[in-house]
Amino acid sequence: MFVPAVAVPDDLRDRPGRWFLFDERQQLVLIDGDPPVAVRPPRGAFDIHVLGFDDDGPVWAARVGPDFELPMGAQLVDLRRAFVLLDEEEWILAGRAAQVLTWDVDHRYCSRCGADMELHGSERARTCPACRLMAFPRLTPAVIMLVERDDGRALLAWGRQFPGRFYSALAGFVEPGETLEQTVVREVKEEVGVDVADVRYFGSQPWPFPHSLMIGFNARYAGGDLIIQESEIVEAGWYRHDELPPVPQGRMSIAGWLIDDWIARMGRSR
């Protein structure tokens, strides 16, 4: 079991560990499909952070520069591609590493007074020595919701973020002062013009693009006609489980989990 930590326990200091190395384009270094394993930092690694440890030893995150020489059998892949190459646990660790490294770069200087920030000794934080501001890794909560109608149809939309015709559940970021359930109601109304009720928690997923937490919900259609927010949505419609447009499949995202769960409840499986 993985245990988050900011320092390596003494009994693990000489154990080989996994290294999640990212280049300046946020591409991950894999060797024969796995992160490198080593006791010492790979040559050329910098901005080194301990992520924690598990039964296999320490887990590290670090950056490599443009002059980093890829070992034999190594390749550079982005996080989305890494999902199909790594098992789920390692992909989650890769996402954790990417978020820690992004936070480290984004908080080198104090946002309050501009002084150089220092790494905290016992917490995942940077501290300003001048004004004592502490900066923890940023986490941006977003809701994603599958809205269902009593006739067995579900609401799917083609968002403008997808370059090709691709439909998914609606999603949006939480605003200050909102509950998650209020965000679900607001985002559905804003994006497609309908009202929802019976908002129920489904599950969550870390989403390191770059530092989100996706929180999934089911909701029931409560009224209104589809009126899309054209700046966000290309098309939206109500679909039966056996007439789906292109949608998320497999284990890539919580959007796919929501849709698979709905299909299973409709008596079919993909």
Domain annotation covers residue 154: yes
Question: C-alpha distances in angstroms, 73 versus 25, 93, 173?
Answer: 20, 21, 40
Domain annotation covers residue 76: yes
Domain annotation covers residue 31: yes
d(CA 239, CA 33): 38
**Could you tell me the two tokens for 100?**
């820690």
**Same domain membership, residue 144 and residue 224:** yes
Contact between 143 and 232 under an 8 Å Cβ cutoff? The reply is no
**Same domain membership, residue 125 and residue 13:** no
**CATH number of domain containing 228:** 3.90.79.10
Report the DSSP pairing between strands 57-64 and 17-22.
parallel
Please name every residue paired with 173 in a beta bridge, in sequence order, or none if there are none: 142
Q: Determine the average pLDDT of the residues in 119-123.
A: 94
**CATH number of domain containing 60:** 3.90.79
Q: Is the pLDDT of residue 269 over 60?
A: no
Report the DSSP pairing between strands 45-54 and 74-77.
unpaired
Domain annotation covers residue 270: no
Domain annotation covers residue 71: yes
pLDDT at 270: 45
Domains in the chain, number: 3
Domain annotation covers residue 75: yes
Backbone angles phi, psi at 13, to 5 degrees: -60, -30
**Same domain membership, residue 23 and residue 70:** yes
**Same domain membership, residue 74 and residue 40:** yes
In which domain, by residue range, is 79 found? 3-106
Share of the chain above pLDDT 90, in %: 90
**Same domain membership, residue 259 and residue 148:** yes
**Same domain membership, residue 244 and residue 145:** yes
Residue keyed to tokens 């550079």: 76
pLDDT band at residue 94 using 50, 70 and 90 as cut-offs: very high
**Same domain membership, residue 260 and residue 207:** yes
Q: Is the pLDDT of residue 109 over 50?
A: yes
Q: Is the pLDDT of residue 172 over 80?
A: yes
**Could you tell me the two tokens for 150?**
């009593």
Q: Determine the average pLDDT of the residues in 25-44.
A: 95
Domain annotation covers residue 255: yes
